[in-house]
Chains A and B, each alone.
Chain A
Amino acid sequence: MQIRWRTGPPQAARLLPLGKAGGSGEVYAIEGQPGFVAKVYHAAVRDAQRADYANKIRWMIHHPPRLPPIPADYHGIVQLAWPVGVVTQDSAFAGFAMDKIDFERTLELDYLLTRRQAAAEGFEADFGKLVAICCNLAALLDCLHARRIAVVDLKPMNLKVYKTELYVSILDCDGFRIDADDYVAEATQVTPEYLAPEFHGKAVAQPQAQDSFALATIVFRLLNYGIHPYAGIAAGRQDQPTELAARIQQGLYPYARTPSPHVRPAPASVHECFPDEIRALFDRAFGAPRAARASAAEWVAALRPFADPGAGRMARCAHGHLHFAGMACASCRRAAILLGHVERQQRHAARRRATPARALTYMRKSLRGTHTSPFQAALAQAQLGTVQLAPVAASLRHVASIEILWSIGLLITYWWLR
């Protein structure tokens, strides 16, 4: 294998398997180059596709985007797995080299959607950190959009988060959509759960609008404990699809400031604890009209004050949780919802355990005529207002005869209806 870096002559390179393979290729370590890794496309990739990749990678190597600035004391932060060299085999294009993202310092953004999973990965999530992550992701997207580059298949699995510095890395850059003056490359890969409603079943005609939708979805999920903006409960009797893709298409967004008549929020949602300016952006992203969807730059402007610890837009509650200043604490709200749910479950279990004993007691009291509750006593003595049971004047035989006839009559009706 040879690697041709952006400058300088080609270098011979030995690639070492890392055991990480994707749909289009496999990632290798490069011997003697600890700061880089190489992606080599699978042999099964068709020649035409391989040629497209080659053109795209060569353009990308010579047109790196300007990324958001990183403080000088943060070292080794890679915000994009952007190609920096072409990998060739026998002079033929085989793949590309890119900056290595340190997997020890990062975790997949997907893990942040579940607090317990994030904690297991060594990341104690709070709303301050989450807002900072959202803001950094939006800033990164804004830089790409400024160069008319779009991610399109933007989803948590393609994103890595630096646990300490809270910067975000985007993987799979070779799948980006590029719309430069001298070069255009399409992006064909999409994920339905993050795909804007107008692009379901169609090509993504406005890739930046798609990115804005996916960004809003990721921000919503990060701030709302992983709840997808289109997850909810049907408000009426009409059936609603359970798949998120179909719910997106039908616009079943229940977290708007004006409640939807068709769908109710998930009970565990804390969206009411978000500040109005952020909720307004969510409503623009998921509600109509679609043209009003906020851009990445608008998200940066909205999130920056909350991500800046000196701006005073975040406050601590009595329990020490960080929350949006002036709003109810989302962490406390979430804990109360979950606690209420657990308590209800415990009460139900206790009631279920006590049911046989209570039934026996009731029977015993009925037989002895010793009910203590006024209602039960009235029921036992059949003195409910004006409704009274008449004493059975007829003999037991006569009563039995009538009831046998009744039962047979009902059986006949049942049989006849069947």
Chain B
Amino acid sequence: MMRTAAIVAVLGGALAVAWLWRPHGSRSPAVRALLALYGVLGAWALWFGVLAPGAREPELVQLCKPTVVYWALATLLVVGPLRGWDYPAKWVVGTYFTFSAREWRYINVALAAFLLALGGLNLYVAFTGSRDEWEGYKWSCMANVAAILLLRVTFLWIDSAVRLARYLYGRVRAGQP
């Protein structure tokens, strides 16, 4: 109980901070779609993980979950530019890289193809391999999720922390509060 309360408090606090500090102005529909996707996945996980602990997802649904994630993201990447949105790959990889529109288009297509292939591979492993092999593949999906986090940590968080540290150091050296 205490653990759940702590998790809710941390997540709620983080969400509150994110809401308060959110950038104002118009947001890309790609971002809204991405947020909506996470909202659906979060609600789903919340239902089966917390609100209805006795309920079990059907076996078929469990096997298809990685495919759902990959293909939902791939759909977003394919549909977004067709509907005139920005390239969603920008938001997945990070808007901090400077690429031309043509380069973003290639990245977007490559990422979509990659995600489609991974989703297809999951179905192949799930329905032709053993349960252990599929479990292994599912863990590799989680590793991909961690890889995205690492990408952002490496190229954004460390960079921002170094810039902030240098900025604060400069202010202290200049005698500014």
Give residues in A with beta carbon < 8 Å to B: 366-367, 382, 386-390, 392, 394, 396-410, 412-418
Please determine whether B66 and A417 come into contact, CB atoms closer than 8 angstroms.
yes
B69–A389 touching, CB < 8 Å: no
Contact for A408 among B14, B138, B156, CB less than 8 A? B14
B157 touches A401 (CB 8 A): no
Q: Which residues of B contact A408 (CB under 8 A)?
A: 11, 14-15, 18, 38
How many angstroms between the C-alpha atoms of A366 and B158 in the bound complex? 10
Complex CA gap A154/B18 in Å reads 78
- Bound Cα distance from A390 to B95, whole angstroms: 8
A414 in contact with B157 (CB, 8 Å)? no
Docked CA distance A366–B162 (Å): 8
**Can you report 30 A-B residue pairs in the complex whose CB atoms are below 8 A from each other?**
A366-B162, A367-B162, A367-B165, A386-B99, A386-B103, A388-B97, A389-B96, A389-B98, A389-B155, A390-B97, A392-B160, A397-B21, A398-B23, A403-B157, A404-B17, A404-B18, A407-B14, A407-B149, A408-B14, A408-B38, A410-B145, A410-B148, A412-B42, A415-B42, A415-B49, A416-B42, A417-B66, A417-B138, A417-B141, A417-B145
Do A400 and B17 contact each other (CB < 8 Å), given the known contacts A390-B97, A415-B45, A417-B65? yes
If A398-B23, A401-B18, A408-B11 touch, does A367 touch B42 (CB 8 Å cutoff)? no
Bound CA span A87–B115, Å = 83
Find out whether the CB atom of A401 lies under 8 angstroms from the CB atom of B17.
yes
B34 in contact (CB, < 8 A): yes
B43 to chain A, nearest CB (A): 9
Instruction: Give, as a whole number of angstroms, the nearest-CB distance from B38 to chain A.
Output: 4
As a 0/1 sequence over residues 15 to 56 of chain B, the CB contacts with chain A under 8 angstroms (1 = contact) are 101111111000000000011001001101100010000000
**Is B5 at the interface (CB under 8 A from chain A)?**
no
> CA A407 – CA B23 in complex, angstroms?
17
- Bound: A412/B41 CA distance, A: 7
9 A-B pairs closest in CB distance = A397-B21, A401-B21, A404-B18, A398-B23, A409-B38, A412-B42, A416-B45, A401-B18, A388-B98
**Whole-angstrom CA separation of A343 from B19 in the bound complex:** 57
Residues in B with CB closer than 8 Å to A387 are 97-99
Measured in the bound complex, the distance between the Cα atoms of B21 and A415 in whole Å is 25
Docked CA distance A27–B121 (Å): 67
Q: How many A-B residue pairs have CB under 8 A?
A: 98
B41 and A413 within 8 A (CB): yes
Q: Which of B15, B17, B42 has the most CB of A within 10 A?
A: B42
- Which residue of chain A lies nearest to B138 when distances are taken between CB atoms in the complex? A417
In the complex formed, the residue of B with least CB distance to A415 is B45
Contact residues in A for B18 (Cβ distance below 8 Å): 400-402, 404-405, 408
A401-B23, A405-B35, A416-B42 as given contacts; A389 in contact with B145, CB under 8 Å: no
Interface of A is mostly: helix
Given the known interface contacts A409-B38, A417-B69, the answer about A367 and B163 at a Cβ–Cβ threshold of 8 Å is no
> Is B142 part of the contact surface with A, judged by Cβ < 8 Å?
yes
A403→B96 contact, CB < 8 A: no
Rounded to whole angstroms, the CA-CA distance of A418 and B14 in the bound complex is 22
Contacting pair A413 B69 (CB below 8 A) = yes
CA distance A339 to B146 in the complex (A): 41
User: Is A416 within 8 A of B160, CB to CB?
Assistant: no
B79 within 8 A of A: no
Q: Does B105 contact A (CB under 8 A)?
A: no
One of B14, B23, B65 near A394 (C-beta < 8 A): B23
Q: Chain A residues near B98: list those with CB within 8 A.
A: 387-390
- B residues less than 8 Å from A396 (CB atoms): 160, 164
Contacts of A382 in B (CB 8 A): 159
From residue 102 to 150 of chain B, which have CB atoms closer than 8 A to chain A?
Answer: 103, 138, 141-142, 145-146, 148-149
B15 and A404 form a contact (CB under 8 A)? yes
Task: Return B8 CB to nearest CB of chain A, in Å.
Answer: 13
Tell me which residues across on chain B come within 8 A of A386, comparing CB atoms.
Answer: 99, 103
**A389 touching B41, Cβ below 8 Å:** no
Answer whether residue B166 sits at the interface, using C-beta atoms and an 8 A cutoff.
Answer: yes
A382 to B138, CA, bound (A): 34
A47 to B46, CA, bound (A): 77
| A416 close to B69 (CB less than 8 A) | yes
- In whole angstroms, how far apart are the Cα atoms of A368 and B38 in the complex? 39
In whole angstroms, how far apart are the Cα atoms of A233 and B69 in the complex?
A: 39
For A415, what are the chain B residues with a Cβ–Cβ distance below 8 Å? 42, 45, 49
Task: Quote the shortest CB–CB distance from B103 to chain A (angstroms).
Answer: 8
Minimum CB–CB distance for A191 against chain B, Å: 36
| Distance between Cα atoms of A397 and B35 in the complex (Å) | 19
Q: Quick one: which of B34, B45, B138 has the most chain A CB within 10 A?
A: B45
Chain A residues whose CB sits within 8 angstroms of the CB of B156 once the complex forms: 399, 403
Q: How distant is the Cα of A228 from the Cα of B20 in the complex, in angstroms?
A: 71
- A98 CB → nearest B CB, Å: 57
